[in-house]
Structure 1
Amino acid sequence: MEWYEALALLVGSIMFLMAIGMPVALAFLAANILGAWVFMGGDRGVAQLLNNGFGSLTKFALVPIPLFLLMGEIFFHTGLGGRMFTAIDRLLGRLPGRLSYVTVLGGTAFSTLSGSSMGSTALLGSLMVPEMSQRGYKKHMSVGPILGTGGLAIIIPPSALAVLLATLAQIDVAALLIAGIIPGLILAGFYIGTIWLQTQLDPSAAPAYDVEPLPLLGKLWLLFREVVPMVGVMVVIIVMMVRGIVTPSEAAAFGALGVLILAALFRCLTWDAMKKSVIGALRVTLMAYLIVFGSATFSQLLAFSGASRGLIEWATDFELAPVAMLLVMFAVLLILGMFMEQISMMLLTVPIFFPLATTLGFDPIWFGLIMLLALEISFTTPPFGLLLFVMKGVAPPDTTMRQIYLAAVPFILCSLCVVALLILFPQLALWLPGLG
């Protein structure tokens, strides 16, 4: 069988099974079993493939995923996240567009830990948009920052999605997490600058309203009581990883323990909150492990059937410049993101894109960061980006799809600017990992 026939059989069967409604992980598992039967010699091939897949689940690099997820779930269910939102809101006072800034700052902290862009968008949309609408905010000032926080959350550590991508691509987890710090801060600056510019061009888009004045000592007390402890947990684990004091797995454990201690100190660590946190983290972890299992076996089938080698040879025969090929892969991710969820996209593209990126001479950590940004941008790309429809579902009834599309555009442009900067200056991503 020619390589393109093998690729069509494997990818086509996955797409067909997903189209008829089969869950992503099960669709990959079924397609992998079919491929093993065809390419690896029947039932013996299937048994060997399953053994190899289970072996991929024993990697120590997977440990941070459940711990980061547990950290985020505790942060949410105990109310620590709500306390931080409220404190940031009060600290900003009468600043024009105050609630938009709150959405970016507080939403990023929550989204980074939760690992689910769709869940974060649904939560922030239902929490913040009605409040901003009541205060007279125009749609682009209320909807846009929520859609934008995903791009920021996915690359600033700790990020469960970054850990999953690094595991699937078999690259250094700590290096990919650390690589996102500087680009993430730049993107945060772009978002804040965008909100500021929008309020300057149209002050009525986010009208100021009276808030209870807070003296300087009150602000300092609020900052150190409600914000510094929450942010401090994230800063400490990032610094420990950058300094090489702990591994990502140890950092995740310290982070989960730190949030537990904070919840206990603030007297919001209840049995109900812990039960919901563990169940939520367990549910996403099991899905992630199924994804890793499916990806490992899919990669082996691509290699065994000759599909990956044939595809790489075919792609490199075009003699496109490496940057042009990068843009082609970027465009493929943007298109897939209109119809598929992030983890599904990673499962489908990582086994193909990373070997191709290595052949083109790209640094795998740098390419991983580019891919993370592409995954998130694709979620908000009109007309079919999935987060756009999630936002439509939770926004007030008078919100139109056109308003959501227009609100997303400035924040998509911010993310694209960061991608352009990473292409022009790769050291923005590689400098911090190189210090370790």
Structure 2
Amino acid sequence: MMPWYQAFLMMIGVILALMALRIPVAFAFLIVNVIGVSIFMGGHFGLVQLAANASEALANYSLVPIPLFILMGELFFHTGVAQRVFVVVDQLLGSVRGRLAYVSIGGGTIFSALSGSSLGNVAMMGSTMYPEMHRKGYSDTLSIGPIIATGGLAAIIPPSGLAVVLGSLAGMDVGRLLLAGLVPGLLLAFSFAALVFVISFLRPEAAPQYETARISFAEKLSLIAVNLVPMALVIIVVMGLIIFGIATPTEAAAFGVVSVMLVAALFRQLTVKAIVQAASSAMKISGMIFMIILASTTFSQILSLSGATRGLVDWVQSVDFSLTAVLATMALVLIVLGAFLEPVGIMMLTIPVFMPLVQSYGVDPLWMGVFILIFIELGLATPPFGLALYVMLASAPGKSIIDLTRAVAPYLACSLLLVVLITLVPDIVLFLPSLAAR
């Protein structure tokens, strides 16, 4: 048996090399799994066990919410209901300085809660909001920045598809993990809005003032009642079903899909074409995620069987690193990986190592799950290969990755401040899950 550090470096090194060759994440992990089971589980027997793990990994009830939450978001987008949210938030804000930046944050937060798709969020806001903000003379910091930053909220605010994947990979209660991300996600959205206010106040030229159509208070109430209340009810009921133990995350996700369809039907925007497009897109995304989960189950087992996981934990404890140092190192690893890998690939690489390590320090797995999700959100906007940057680049012709990075940098600082806050006050993450556990 090779030393744990050689096994660890071999497994991680081969995966990174395959990814560098642009082999899809799921297939890279499957190739490494075949190599790993041959070395550590004994040739033919290892391959048989790999096949057995495949069916066992996917025959998991906790995975069912993934395609349902994805379908919920795709219906929200393809039926055009998402567009109504942005239009209404825009009308409600009137002539507030920087209002289009607030619309991006407010509408994007609502869309995050209903879609669970960070890149879908950035793509939609980039194509709908950025051209108008650019035409009105908004600076990059108040146009591009909020769009990319708010897009990442979908990784944190429930119902987050990434949170469901993370919970499944880490063996956590998915419902409680979804709840754990709610308060941090909302705090992050408010911090983005506060940042827009400060920038607009200190640099008025960054958000030029212009006349907008005035609407009465009664008209505002009507807009809220007709357009926003149904959307809010979908979010509240889906999360309420989980919080009060009335339904499992799977049942709540199914209710969410039906609710979005009903709302779209009430708005007369539910068409056969929209349903087919949403179902097709959800099927493709879900298939990719399930392939990755299939590969990750055996990867975790091989790391454990080779002694790499236990060896790393024992080494860290023997060196007597403080918890702060361990978390700071993990944060750095997540940021670096975020610049090169997509979110699920990052989770597959880090969860088998990070979770046993932090649990040896007595850290709550739910808190660690939110910690990882925040840094995944950061990674989507981290150069040179943050996926959200490239999605936004398609909607902002003439801009470079450097321009986009400068625009979103102050918002990423808000995310880092949130990490410091939840580290000092863990109950920000753990309070809601504790209610659901009773």
Distance 2:213 2:221 in 1: 16
Counterpart-to-counterpart distance in 1, 2:195 and 2:54: 45
Q: Post-superposition shift, 1:277?
A: 0.4
Corresponding residue for 1:387? 388
Q: Secondary structure at 1:213's aligned position in 2?
A: coil
Question: C-alpha distance in 1, partners of 2:391/2:281?
Answer: 20
- Equivalent residue for 2:136? 135
Mapped contact 2:117–2:155 kept (Cα < 8 A): no
TM-score (norm 1): 0.97
- Pairing 1:55–2:62 present: no
Which structure 2 residues correspond to residues 230-269 of structure 1 after superposition, within 5 A? 230-269=231-270
Say which SS state the counterpart of residue 394 (structure 1) adopts: coil
Q: Distance in 2 between matches of 1:406 and 1:9?
A: 36
CA drift of 1:147 comes to 1.5
Give yes or no for the alignment of 1:427 onto 2:427: yes
Q: For residues 167-195 of structure 1, what are the alpha-carbon distances to aligned partners after superposition, in whole Å with 9 as ceiling and x for unaligned?
A: 10111111111111221221121111111
- Quote the Cα distance in structure 1 between the aligned partners of 2:370 and 2:287: 24
Which 5+ residue runs of structure 2 have no aligned equivalent? none
Q: Which amino acid aligns with 1:279?
A: S
Q: Quote the Cα distance in structure 2 between the aligned partners of 1:107 and 1:428.
A: 22
Task: Give the alignment of 1:109-258 within 5 angstroms.
Answer: 109-258=110-259
Using a 3 Å threshold, how does the CA distance of structure 1 residues 402 and 15 change in structure 2: closer, same or farther? closer
Alpha-carbon offset, residue 211 of structure 1: 1.9
TM-score by length of 2: 0.96
Equivalences, count: 435
Give the letter for the 1:426 counterpart.
Answer: P
- Residue pairs, 1:198-347, within 5 angstroms: 198-347=199-348
Partner of 1:365: 366
Shift of 1:383: 5.0
Amino acid across the alignment from 1:238: M
Q: What's the CA shift string for 1:231-284, capped at 9, x where partnerless?
A: 220111112211222111111111111001111111111110000000111111
Contact in 2 for aligned 1:80/1:230 (Cα 8 Å):
no
Distance (Å, rounded) in 1 between the aligned partners of 2:266 and 2:386: 41
Partner Cα distance (1:115, 1:221) in 2: 28
Moved more, 116-125 or 329-338: 116-125
Query: Which sections of structure 1, spanning at least 5 residues, go unmatched?
Result: none
Query: Percent identity over the alignment?
Result: 46
1:49 deviates by 1.9
Following the alignment from structure 2 to structure 1, what is the Cα–Cα distance between the partners of residues 283 and 174?
21
| CA contact 1:156–1:180 (8 Å) conserved in 2 | yes
RMSD: 1.4
Distance 1:114 1:265 in 2: 19
Partner of 1:99: 100
Partner amino acid, structure 1, of 2:197: W
Once structures 1 and 2 are overlaid, which stretch shifts more, 380-389 or 318-327? 380-389
State the distance in 2 between where 1:336 and 1:316 align. 24
**What stretches of structure 1 move > 6 A for 4+ residues in a row?**
none
1:394-432 deviation digits (Å, cap 9, x = unpaired): 2131x3444322211211111111111110010111111
Query: 1:38 Cα shift?
Result: 1.4
Q: Give the whole-Å Cα distance in 2 for the aligned partners of 1:356 and 1:340.
A: 22
Secondary structure of 1:396's counterpart equals coil
